[in-house]
């Protein structure tokens, strides 16, 4: 079986196939597939420091976005499940953007000014 092919010196070369990735579920934030060991994290929707024990798998970029927007107190009181998080206007914009990316896409996230108190 062939992987991606490219033209090198007027001839075709075989490039190795990427191994098949095991799908571990659908991200509850962006609804994209999550691949095992590929930029996924566990998230406590009820923060651990506030007594939360249960976790859910999320894409790392989705997880980081949540923590860049919300304090632990806000997560506990107002955003303690995926549906509530997805309703926030900043998350809606983020989801619209990230939903067009491949499941293994990752980009660093900066802390939002709203969380910084500016």
Per-domain boundaries in the chain: 20-116
Question: Residue 8 pLDDT more than 70?
Answer: no
Q: What is the mean pLDDT of the chain?
A: 81
pLDDT tier at 92, thresholds 50, 70, 90: very high
Query: Which secondary-structure segment (H or E) carries 42?
Result: strand 40-43
Residue 67, classified by CB atoms within 10 Å of its CB into exposed (0-12), middle (13-18) or buried (19+), is: middle
Percent of the chain's residues with pLDDT above 90: 45
Predicted confidence (pLDDT) per residue in 46-71, tens digit: 888 888 899 899 999 999 999 999 99
* pTM for the predicted model, two decimal places: 0.73
């Amino acid at each position: 079986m062939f992987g991606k092919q490219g033209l090198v010196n007027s001839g075709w070369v075989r490039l190795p196939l990427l191994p098949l990735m095991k799908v571990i579920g659908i991200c509850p934030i962006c609804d994209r597939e999550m691949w095992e060991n590929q930029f996924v994290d566990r998230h406590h929707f009820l923060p651990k420091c506030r007594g939360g024990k249960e976790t859910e798998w999320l894409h790392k970029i989705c997880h980081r976005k949540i923590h860049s927007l919300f304090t632990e107190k806000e997560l506990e009181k107002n955003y303690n499940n995926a549906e509530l998080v997805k309703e926030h206007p900043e998350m809606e914009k983020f989801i619209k953007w990230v939903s067009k990316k491949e499941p293994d896409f990752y980009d660093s996230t900066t802390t939002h000014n709203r969380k910084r108190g500016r």
